[in-house]
């Protein structure tokens, strides 16, 4: 290869070598083809565990039941039985350590999520008893008269 | 505001997460790579096919193509939400994605153009380095220049007749090899859009071909335009310097060379324009004829909301008008300037109508999105993805071209 | 004696003809996946019952909090769409803030702060359709990622590597269902991942826990005894945009022709 014509090629090869060297440094060593093949599985496997390690915020009603069995039983036997505690009480997180107490959302907007009357034939929504919030005691919290843990009972002021 | 919310107006039913994510920079990117590819093809018309009259513009367009290359990467860096990770495309490329081809294609093309430039300018590097070597007491700047030109020779000092002929042969081979790579550089950009089945406007096998044809059109047009402008500057300079250096070519001599080159090059421009417009019209006719599920909303976008952008600006001003301007006999330089400017406008609008037009309707086919280009930047996002970001990308190649010209002069008789 | 040309022609014809039954288009078939019982691990599937959804939006709220999507940001991993079909044959569709706060008015949100009033007696039918990432078997979003930042796990969930994503947005453009978006804080691609951190611990997803009406359910397609799998196999279910060939794994009961 005496001819000078090949010199640019050497520069090119040097650059390519540089790229490969950079790859060794910058790319995590476990990066590769996963179980789903190259098209759908080209990734860094350690990321899967990172996603599994995300903190759980909502503990579910089963968790609340451990300490608040009375409230749990009350709501479970009521028409509101299928509503998760945390829908209105917010996520459990580390309660009772942190937070010590959960904020209860007593707003009208929360109740009207289901109880705004919508005459939608063909949807389960039609069966839910509802009101027109502009007409039915506007501005007043629903829980003033309605007890959320058992809507058959009268509400009480808190 | 989430990314995209600031410049998107949503009408009727669009999915909650839908915004116009690919904006002006994604319009600029295929526009810039198109100019790169087109400029290279023009240069190769001389080197490979030996069209002698294009010799002057060939050297010019090769350097310009190289000046455009780093700028082609700039819109992508401005668009990425994580630009510092951009290098990952070279580190862990996922070749099932068209964008991953970017790393390989871009680098290959860059190498070819750089190598070809080296062969074209090697004699100049050697002569300049030797001239600097002669200077006894070099200033700091001169020492730097000496080092630069010595490095650029890559140690190949032989400028004998045989060596220069070897250079010519290498240039011819590289120019030939470079044409398919240049086509690939822009064809893959067309593939990026054409392969997205989720987008009803983009999805067509014609997209890569349309992009390549209009890329060549834009490259040639830009080269003609910049060539005219540069010759105009040279003429002005020669008028002033001729008093001191009468041996320089006169303004009349320069002018006649220019008109001939422009006339020749615009022939090729017209040919590729015909190809580009044929494909685009074919795509449109097919869509209307087959009228698949997406046709209702597409028709609404193409014939109603974007009517002016598509038919008046792109097809009318950008295609029909320059076509007529170039075909009417007795082509003047002034007419060529207007013609090529309109062609560039047309090519830019084509990119705009594809990228923005493809996001003008919702994937639900039941709603629309309207894009308002951010004009005055008030934060990083509105600069990068706004008018000023686009202008930066548009003007940097000229600045780079001016820089490169100092090392690789495009006109032989520079003074 | 048969000529060489004729022999070649005929054998190509026979080979081609034989290939046709073998290469018969493998229509999307849950049974095939089910048959891969010998494969370890689950294949997560989701079941949405649009007859049961009432549009309360607790699922959207729960998802946002569980997955730390900024509450006020106008992006969400899951959402609920409302379809109101009026007597004039028009379908009115909206999803105000993805139904994060439920549906507060009978008026249809048509964007840019404008609302379209609908009279109760004009309504022929109306229903709600929850949507989330379909965790497709042929995910087009994974196919187009240039750097391998998004991928599918062995149990079928498509995840995004937040440390690797370059934020190009190709996956967002590649999804026909519009489930992907840029995370406003992390500035990388984001989407529903079936609350991977919950389901891999034996919990339900946040949206399922929040739903008081049983409109959302998750199951394991590789377990024939799974109640969700049984419904998919034995009842009439549908998927979104099947024509794209993505093979989505979220199945809908009560799927109506108006659903986009």
In a domain, C125, yes or no: yes
Considering only CB atoms, C179 lies closest to which of B5, B17, B195, namely B17
SS3 state of residue C158: strand
Q: Are residues C131 and C151 in the same domain?
A: no
Q: Tell how strand C123-131 and strand A42-43 pair up.
A: unpaired
Considering only CB atoms, B92 lies closest to which of A8, A31, A39, namely A31
Considering only CB atoms, C159 lies closest to which of A47, A116, A121, namely A47
Judge: A27–B91 Cβ closer than 8 Å, yes or no. Answer: yes
Domains of chain B and any CATH numbers: 9-406 (1.20.1630.10)
Instruction: State both tokens at A97.
Output: 């350590």
Judge: B107–A15 Cβ closer than 8 Å, yes or no. Answer: yes
Q: Are residues C233 and C119 in the same domain?
A: yes
Q: How far is C20 from chain B (nearest CA, A)?
A: 25
In a domain, C4, yes or no: no
Judge: C103–A54 Cβ closer than 8 Å, yes or no. Answer: no
**Which residues in C lie closer than 8 A to residue A55 (C-beta atoms)?**
197
Q: Are residues C160 and C214 in the same domain?
A: no
Q: Are residues C161 and C236 in the same domain?
A: no
Q: How far is A73 from chain C (nearest CA, A)?
A: 16
pTM of the model: 0.89
Domain positions in chain A:
61-144
Judge: B99–C73 Cβ closer than 8 Å, yes or no. Answer: no
Q: How many CB atoms lie within 10 A of CB C54?
A: 25
Q: What is the ipTM of this complex?
A: 0.91
Judge: C197–A35 Cβ closer than 8 Å, yes or no. Answer: no
Q: How far is A123 from chain C (nearest CA, A)?
A: 5
Domain hosting C223: range is 36-136+192-253
Considering only CB atoms, B16 lies closest to which of C98, C148, C187, namely C98
Considering only CB atoms, C182 lies closest to which of B2, B94, B100, namely B2
Largest CA-CA distance found in chain B, in angstroms, rounded? 77
Q: How far is C9 from chain B (nearest CA, A)?
A: 31
Judge: B16–C188 Cβ closer than 8 Å, yes or no. Answer: no
**Which residues in C lie closer than 8 A to residue B102 (C-beta atoms)?**
146
Is some CB atom of chain A closer than 8 A to the CB atom of C91? no
In a domain, C145, yes or no: yes
In a domain, C20, yes or no: no
Judge: A22–B91 Cβ closer than 8 Å, yes or no. Answer: yes
Q: If you measure CA to CA, which chain B residue comes closest to A7?
A: B154
| CATH number of the domain within which C82 lies | 3.30.70.20
In a domain, C259, yes or no: no
Nearest-CA neighbor of B96 among C179, C138, C190, C27? C138
pLDDT score of B214? 86
Is some CB atom of chain C closer than 8 A to the CB atom of A138? no
C13-25 pLDDT tens trace: 666 555 554 444 4
In a domain, C258, yes or no: no
In a domain, C75, yes or no: yes
pLDDT score of B227? 80
State how many domains chain C has: 2
> Is C54 within 8 Å of A125 (Cβ atoms)?
yes
Judge: C209–A60 Cβ closer than 8 Å, yes or no. Answer: yes
Judge: C112–B12 Cβ closer than 8 Å, yes or no. Answer: no
- What is the distance in angstroms between the CA of the first residue and the CA of the last residue of chain C? 62
Q: Are residues C149 and C210 in the same domain?
A: no
DSSP assignment letter at B102: H
In a domain, C11, yes or no: no
Judge: B21–C140 Cβ closer than 8 Å, yes or no. Answer: no
The C-alpha atoms of residue C133 and residue C189 are separated, in whole angstroms, by 13
- The per-residue pLDDT string of chain B (415 residues; one tens digit each, 9 = 90 and over) reads 899 999 999 999 999 999 999 999 999 999 888 888 888 887 887 787 776 666 777 887 888 888 888 888 899 999 999 999 999 999 999 999 999 988 888 889 889 999 998 998 899 899 989 998 888 888 888 888 889 889 988 888 888 998 889 988 999 899 888 888 888 888 888 999 999 999 999 999 999 899 888 888 888 888 888 788 877 877 777 777 777 777 766 666 666 557 777 888 888 899 999 998 999 999 999 999 999 999 999 999 999 999 999 999 999 999 999 999 999 988 888 899 999 999 999 999 999 999 999 999 999 999 999 999 999 998 888 899 999 999 999 889 888 888 888 888 876 654 3
What residues are paired with A98 via a beta bridge? Answer: A94
Let me know if B322 is exposed, middle or buried by CB neighbors in 10 A (0-12, 13-18, 19+): buried
Report helix angle B161-194 to B24-47, nearest 10.
Answer: 150
Instruction: Write the CB contacts of B338 (distance below 8 Å, at least 6 apart in sequence).
Output: B322, B325
Q: Are residues C113 and C230 in the same domain?
A: yes
Q: How far is C47 from chain A (nearest CA, A)?
A: 17
Q: Are residues C84 and C210 in the same domain?
A: yes
């Amino acid at each position: 290869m005496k001819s000078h014509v090949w010199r640019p090629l050497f520069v090119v090869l040097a650059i390519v070598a540089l790229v490969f060297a950079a790859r060794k440094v910058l790319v995590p060593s476990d990066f590769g083809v996963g179980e789903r093949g190259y098209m759908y599985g080209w990734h860094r496997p350690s990321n899967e565990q990172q996603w599994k390690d995300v903190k759980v915020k909502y503990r579910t009603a089963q968790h609340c039941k451990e300490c608040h069995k009375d409230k749990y039983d009350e709501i479970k036997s009521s028409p509101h039985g299928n509503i998760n505690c945390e829908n209105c009480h917010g996520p459990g997180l580390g309660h009772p350590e942190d937070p010590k107490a959960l904020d209860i959302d007593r707003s009208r907007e929360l109740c009207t999520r289901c109880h705004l009357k919508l005459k939608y034939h063909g949807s389960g929504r039609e069966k839910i008893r509802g009101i027109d919030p502009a007409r039915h005691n506007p501005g007043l919290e629903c829980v003033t008269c309605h007890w959320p843990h058992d809507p058959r009972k009268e509400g009480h002021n808190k | 505001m989430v990314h995209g919310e600031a410049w998107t107006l949503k009408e009727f039913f669009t999915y909650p997460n839908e915004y116009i994510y690919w904006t002006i920079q994604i319009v600029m990117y295929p526009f810039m790579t198109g100019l790169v590819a087109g400029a290279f093809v023009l240069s190769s018309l001389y080197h490979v096919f030996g069209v002698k009259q294009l010799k002057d513009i060939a050297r010019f367009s090769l350097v310009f193509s190289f000046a455009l290359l780093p700028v082609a990467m700039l819109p992508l860096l401005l668009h990425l939400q994580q630009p510092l990770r951009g290098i990952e495309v070279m580190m862990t490329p996922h070749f099932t994605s068209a964008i991953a081809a970017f790393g390989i294609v871009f680098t290959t093309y860059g190498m070819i153009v750089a190598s070809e430039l080296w062969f074209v300018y090697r004699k100049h590097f050697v002569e300049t380095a030797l001239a600097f070597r002669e200077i006894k007491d070099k200033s700091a700047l001169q020492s730097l220049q000496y080092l630069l030109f010595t490095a650029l020779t890559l140690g190949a000092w032989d400028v004998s007749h045989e060596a220069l002929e070897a250079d010519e042969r290498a240039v011819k081979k590289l120019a030939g090899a470079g044409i398919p790579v240049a086509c690939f550089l822009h064809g893959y950009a067309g593939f990026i859009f054409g392969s997205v089945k989720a987008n009803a406007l983009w999805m067509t096998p014609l997209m890569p071909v349309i992009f390549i044809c209009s890329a060549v059109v834009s490259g040639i047009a830009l080269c003609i335009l910049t060539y005219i402008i540069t010759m105009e500057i040279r003429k002005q300079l020669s008028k002033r310097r001729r008093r001191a250096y009468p041996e320089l070519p006169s303004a009349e001599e320069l002018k006649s060379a220019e008109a001939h080159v422009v006339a020749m090059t615009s022939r090729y421009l017209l040919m590729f324009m015909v190809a580009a417009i044929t494909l685009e019209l074919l795509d449109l006719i097919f869509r209307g004829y087959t009228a698949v599920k997406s046709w209702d909303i597409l028709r609404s976008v193409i014939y109603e909301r974007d009517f002016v952008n598509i038919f008046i600006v792109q097809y009318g001003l950008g295609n029909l008008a320059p076509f007529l301007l170039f075909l009417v006999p007795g082509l003047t330089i002034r007419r060529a300037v207007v013609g090529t400017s309109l062609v560039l406008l047309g090519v830019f609008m084509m990119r705009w109508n594809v990228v923005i037009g493809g996001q003008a309707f919702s994937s639900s086919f039941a709603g629309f999105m309207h894009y308002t280009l951010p004009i005055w930047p008030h934060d990083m996002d509105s600069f990068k993805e706004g008018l000023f970001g686009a202008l930066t990308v548009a003007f940097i190649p000229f600045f780079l071209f001016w820089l490169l010209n100092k090392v690789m002069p495009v006109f032989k008789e520079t003074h | 004696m048969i000529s060489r040309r004729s022999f070649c022609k005929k054998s190509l014809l026979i080979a081609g003809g034989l290939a046709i039954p073998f290469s018969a288009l493998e229509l999307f078939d849950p049974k095939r996946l089910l048959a891969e019982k010998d494969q370890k691990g689950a294949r997560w599937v989701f079941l949405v019952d649009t007859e049961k959804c009432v549009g309360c939006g607790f699922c959207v709220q729960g998802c946002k909090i569980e997955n730390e999507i900024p509450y006020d940001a106008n992006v969400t991993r899951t959402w609920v769409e409302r379809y109101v079909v009026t007597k004039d044959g028009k379908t009115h569709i909206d999803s105000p803030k993805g139904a994060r706060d439920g549906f507060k008015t009978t008026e249809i949100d048509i964007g840019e702060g404008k609302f379209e009033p609908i009279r109760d007696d004009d309504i022929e039918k109306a229903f709600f359709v929850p949507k989330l990432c379909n965790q497709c078997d042929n995910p087009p979003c994974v196919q187009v990622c240039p750097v391998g930042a998004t991928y599918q796990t062995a149990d079928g969930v498509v995840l995004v590597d937040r440390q690797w994503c370059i934020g190009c947005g190709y996956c967002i453009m590649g999804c026909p269902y519009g489930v992907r978006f840029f995370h406003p804080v992390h500035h990388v691609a984001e989407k529903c991942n079936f609350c991977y951190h919950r389901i891999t611990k034996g919990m339900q997803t946040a949206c399922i826990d929040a739903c008081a009406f049983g409109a959302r359910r998750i199951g394991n397609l590789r377990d024939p005894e799974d109640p969700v799998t049984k419904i998919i196999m034995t009842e009439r279910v549908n998927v979104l945009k099947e024509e794209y060939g993505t093979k989505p794994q979220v199945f809908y009961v009560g799927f109506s022709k108006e659903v986009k």
